[in-house]
Amino acid sequence: MLALLIIPGIFLVILPLLPDNWLKPAFVAMAFSDLLLALFVLAPGESIDVAWWPQLGLNFALGVSRYNQPLLWLNGLVLLSSALATKAGKAWSPLSKGSIFWLSTAYLGVSLAFLSQNLLLYFVGFEMAVLPFFLLVRKDGGENRRQAAFYFLGFSAVAGMMLLAAVLSLVVRHVTGFYSNHSVPVGLQFVVYLLLLATWAIKTPLWPFHLWLPQTHGEASTPASMYLSGVALKVAPYGFLLFSHILPIASHRASPTLAMWGGITLLAGSLLALGQRDLKQTVAQSSIASMGYVMIALSLGTPAGDQAAVLVMVGHGLASPLLFWIAGEVEKVQGSRQLDDLPGLYRKDPFLVTFLSVAAFAYMGIPGLALFPGEFGVILVAFRHMPATLYLIGPGILVMAATWLRVLARARFGGRDQDSAISRLSFGRQGTGSGLWLTVPLLWVGLFPEWWIHLWHWGGLR
Amino acid sequence: MALGGIEMIAWLALGLECVIAMTLELIPLKRNISRWILAGGIVLLMILFPFAGSLPHLYERLIYAPPVHVVYQELVLATALGLTGILSREGNPVASTLLMLSLAGGLVAVSANNWVVLFLGIETLNIGLYGLVGHTSRQRAGDEALLKFFILGSIFTAFEVAGIGLIGGTQGSLQIMMFRVPNPAEIAGLSLMLAALLFKMGSFPFHLWAPDTYEGSPWQTTTIIATLPKIVAGSLIIRLMATGVFSVIPRLPEILEVVALGTMIVGALGAWRQPRLKRMLAYAAISQVGFVILPLSAGHIGAAGVYLVSYILGSLAVFSAGQSLGGQDNPTRLDLVGAFKTKNRWPAVALVLALAGFAGFPLTVGMAAKLYSVEAVMGEPAIIWLGAVLVTGFTFFYYFRWIFPFFASGDVKITKNAGVGAIAISQISAFLIVVLGIWSYPMIWLTQHLTL
């Protein structure tokens, strides 16, 4: 388990010394070895607890649980595909020491946040995962990246500081671990819960606190977008899951409101996605809708809801980086990401459109792809505990299907005959590995969810 | 005393070293020699103070430095040792002498057990600093810096004299001691002393001298102004708070809370969008001082000590790295682009690490210090800790704004190089910022030994 942190740590130290042509192989090797570790070495129940700053209540307490194991595996996988998507000298997929350094720092932070069993250590991981993205967005990407980076930093700073205030309020009352036996007074629970809600609403994000997300994704480079949407966005909902254990009364009382808020986010995200003219923006807004599913499931506070939420996170963590990678490739092929410029893409690059179809089907919730089991689980749980949300989920699904059908219709059809001259086999291009590394698990999780659930020791879907 | 034979030796050595430093000016030596002698002398003092710093019983009414209590003295000495590295060759040997005098003043001030001795210490420190600012002034901005620093410094010297007069008059003795019964004159006197110390720290509402003085002085002088008087004043405030001297001032916690929050906010707003590095750092330093004062409002000595140490390390790193990167200039953000690709990459790394430390990025000592500082006031009203936390969030804006140019792509401009000393100091302090952020023992030890 410690190796998961030590390997990227060592990589960060030796990175400045590496010669330029070793950068990508080393980065890929680091991500691959962490993925293998996460897949084969972790076992739920492992834990480490070392005193670090005992006066502060900050201890180096790590543990693998049923819920963070899938996320750690996802973390390695998404980092690997982001690493494969980097390319030297390209503004949209940069391969420079600075970018790789900050991406790896974010990776280390995300791993720390996922593994943490200590409140302050989770905050440390959260900050490490969030702050590097300011530099990544500011550094490479579109023309308005400066504004996007400051949007990101502004929202994230508020979210991070609210989290810090909440964590410190608990820590000074000796609640330092997520599984500690200290019970929190009811009044304090509500205060902390409200502070935390601000964090989760911004970082998950929930409508209407999502404003930074389309900005950031619209301007960020492809690997940064892939990693941010794939894993870094999951740190907040995972935190919600963790903190619910120590604030049971507040969570219970807030549950109906929050479930409805999740439903509204789902519908709002779908509608916003439908309204976009830009492929990358469409993906970004669809992410908000998926986070709506996660929030509905988490707010209910049942084991089945938590599992469904983690499944949606995994599914979304596979589908959205894939779509961001596709959006980056589409821009290279078509010279534009506008939906109106998509017709004819299939003639130019059939393999890319095949990837696009798989990912779009996943977003539409087609059975057999990774988002389906989770979304189905959410609907089942919502049906049992909070049927009112179904009125929001139903239209949300329809709108989402319409959004992606529209994208597929344009990408697969149209175009002129002269476009059809495929100069080279597009499958063989550099970077396809990135797509494959996400598509195969996308199918695998979707087709055999029970196999994975067995691997994660969930004891079957409840 | 077990070691009665060697008591006082540290103090005698201190005096002797001052005399040696002054005498060396008369002997034509290579310019760097005086710096090495100074550094060697400081190391010697650091070794001597823990066991030979105490004084005969009679003198203890004036100066108090028993063997186990020399944390403050060692902190001042360590800061000065770091400063020897950044002294420029051109300024020597005069600069070495002035630094030695300032150090002597600082050591006397932090050990003072008598208000007049404290005054003497602070004034010796001040005179050394005036000398340093004036000695290096080559242009109008430098003269302006000196004048502002000198005039405001003199006003606060007058405050100190008035304060000591009031305290001595009502108390009948000049001993630094705890008051039991509040008396308006004593309260006024102590408030004046507190104001003078806060002025030395550069805290709100006495911060106005800092940005202009920082900007007008050359980098090495700025480094000294930003560290030595602050560690002396900070140690003094911490020590006097720990011994309860100021506790007679009514509503002291509230006063300190307002001062701390005001300092943070003024500094943060000033640093935001500053076009030049040194002025940004001046305001950033003001903002940082707020976090030193904040825990004192809740009587949390250890947290203030940890923050003070992290602030001094950060300042040493940023200013020495700034010296290496800027030379005689005051760089803009555009000037810093591509610094990693030049020979100056190591100071650039130090600057990035130190700014990240100031911002409180995880795995730096700055993060632990911020947590200490804010955790100390979690029992106070929510506006205090929420304010401190939100200011921390706001500071990300300017720290990351200045970290970014190092990673941006563009034309390389940086070619300056200040010499080995400044680079070495920037590396050592940046290394400590990271190591102390990960290895917690030294800071935990510090919090336990400040209050003894």
Question: Per residue in A357-385, pLDDT tens?
Answer: 888 888 888 888 888 888 888 888 888 88
A375: Cβ–Cβ under 8 A, 6 or more apart, which residues? Answer: A293, A312, A315, A365
Instruction: Tell whether A54 lies on the interface with B, counting CB pairs under 8 A.
Output: yes
Read off the pLDDT of each residue in B70-89 and give the average, rounded to a whole number.
86
**Residue of A455, A460, A459, A461 whose CA lies nearest to A73:** A455
So what's the pLDDT on residue B2?
46
A88 has pLDDT over 70: no
User: Confidence class of residue B1 from pLDDT cuts 50, 70 and 90?
Assistant: very low
Three-class SS state of A150: helix
Q: What's the confidence (pLDDT) of residue B233?
A: 93
CB contact under 8 A, A161 and B389: yes
Q: Which residues of chain B are within 8 Å of residue A171 when distances are taken between CB atoms?
A: 375
Residue A153 to residue B400, Cβ atoms within 8 A:
yes
* Nearest-neighbour CA in chain B from A172: distance (Å): 7
All residues of chain A having their beta carbon less than 8 Å from the beta carbon of residue B448 are none
Return the SS3 of A177.
Answer: strand
Nearest CA in chain A to B393: A157
Closest C-alpha to B313, from B70, B38, B81, B48: B81
- CB contact under 8 Å between A131 and B385, yes or no, is no
Percent of chain A, pLDDT > 90? 10
pLDDT at A107: 92
CB distance A123 to A164 below 8 Å: yes
Domain ranges in chain B are 1-250, 253-452
* Distance from the first to the final alpha carbon of chain A: 28
Q: Give A-chain residues touching B302 at CB under 8 angstroms.
A: 55
Contacts of A54 in chain B (CB under 8 A): 444
The encoded tokens of residue B312 equal 């001094």
CB contact under 8 A, B389 and A157: no
Q: Which of A131, A154, A171 sits opposite B361 (nearest CB)?
A: A131
Number of alpha carbons in the 13 Å side-chain half-sphere of residue A126: 29
Averaged pLDDT of chain B:
86
Cβ-Cβ contacts under 8 Å, B340 against chain A:
97-98
Q: What sections of B244-300 are H helices per DSSP?
A: 252-271, 277-297
Closest residue to B362, CB basis, from A127, A168, A169: A127
CB atoms within 10 A of CB B54: 26
Residues of chain A found within 8 Å of residue B440, distances taken between Cβ atoms? 52-53
* Interface contact flag, B371 A150, Cβ < 8 Å: no
Query: Which candidate, A198, A197, A382, A216, places its Cα nearest to that of A287?
Result: A216
Given a cut of 60, whether residue B4 has pLDDT beyond it is no
For B375, which of A102, A157, A171 is closest by C-beta distance?
A171
**ipTM at complex level:** 0.88
State which H helix or E strand residue A60 sits in: strand A58-63
pLDDT of residue A92: 61
Q: How many residues does chain B have?
A: 452
Indicate the residue of A138, A165, A168 with minimum beta-carbon distance to B404: A138
pLDDT band at A89 (very low <50, low <70, confident <90, very high): low
Q: Which of A58, A158, A165 sits opposite B385 (nearest CB)?
A: A165
Residue appearing with tokens 């710093």:
B53
pLDDT of residue B155: 92
Does residue A18 sit at the B interface (CB-CB below 8 Å)? no
B363 contacts on A by Cβ (under 8 Å): 124, 128
Which chain A residue has its CA at the smallest distance from B410's CA?
A139
Rounded average pLDDT over B253-265: 92
Chain B residues in contact with A96 by the CB 8 A cut-off are 409
Rounded Cα–Cα distance for residues B436 and B441 (Å): 8
A:108-167 residues touching chain B, CB 8 A cutoff: 109, 120, 124-125, 127-128, 131, 134-135, 138-139, 150, 153-154, 157-158, 160-161, 164-165
pLDDT of residue B401: 87
Q: Does residue A423 surpass a pLDDT of 60? A: no
pLDDT digits (tens, 9 = 90+) for B280-303: 999 999 999 999 999 999 888 889
Confidence grade of residue B409 (pLDDT, cut at 50, 70, 90)? confident
Asked whether A139 and B407 are in contact (CB, 8 A), the reply is: yes
The C-alpha atoms of residue A385 and residue A406 are separated, in whole angstroms, by 34
Contact A165 B389 (CB under 8 A): yes
Contact B396, B402 (CB under 8 A): no
- The whole-number pLDDT of residue B316 equals 92
The C-alpha R_g of chain B, in whole angstroms, comes to 21
Is the separation of the CB atoms in B276 and B398 below 8 Å?
no
Q: Are A163 and A123 in contact (CB under 8 A)?
A: yes
* pLDDT at B105 exceeding the cut of 90: yes
pLDDT of residue A91: 57
Each residue's pLDDT tens digit, A145-189: 888 888 888 899 999 999 999 998 888 888 888 877 777 888 888
Query: Distance (Å) from the C-alpha of residue B5 to the closest C-alpha of chain A?
Result: 39
Select the more confidently predicted residue: A342 or A430.
A342
Rounded CA separation A95/A101 (Å):
10
Name the token pair of B44: 């010697």
Q: Is residue B294 within 8 Å of B391, Cβ to Cβ? A: no
> A–B: how many Cβ contacts below 8 A?
87
What is the rounded average pLDDT for all residues in chain A?
84
The span from the CA of A96 to the CA of B141, in Å, is 40
Contacts of B404 in chain A (CB under 8 A): 134-135, 138-139
User: Higher pLDDT residue, B260 or A42?
Assistant: B260
Summarised one tens digit per residue, pLDDT across range B317-355 is: 999 988 888 877 788 888 888 778 777 888 888 999 999
Does B447 sit within 8 Å of A139, measured CB to CB? no
Cis peptide, bond prior to residue B93, ω within 30 of zero: yes
Model confidence band, residue A461 (pLDDT cutoffs 50, 70, 90):
low
Q: Are B187 and B252 in contact, with CB atoms under 8 Å apart? A: no
- The answer to whether A128 contacts B363, with C-beta atoms less than 8 Å apart, is yes
Q: Which residue of A has its CA nearest to B394?
A: A157
Q: Per DSSP, what are the bridge partners of residue B276?
A: B332
Task: Please give the Cα distance from B274 to B335 (Å, whole number).
Answer: 14
Altogether, the residues listed in chain A come to a count of: 462
Closest Cβ–Cβ partner in A99, A128, A135 for B404:
A135
Q: Which chain A residues are closer than 8 Å to B447 by Cβ?
A: 55
- pLDDT tens, residue by residue, A222-265: 888 888 888 888 999 999 988 888 888 888 888 888 999 999 99
Residues within 8 A of B (CB atoms), A 87-116 only = 96-99, 102, 109
Poorest-confidence range of A114-118, A448-452, B378-382? A448-452
Residue B332's φ and ψ, nearest 5 degrees, are -95, 180
Asked if the C-beta of A171 comes within 8 angstroms of chain B's C-beta atoms, the answer is yes
Q: DSSP label at B361? A: -
- A51-60, A76-85, B175-184: segment of lowest average pLDDT: B175-184
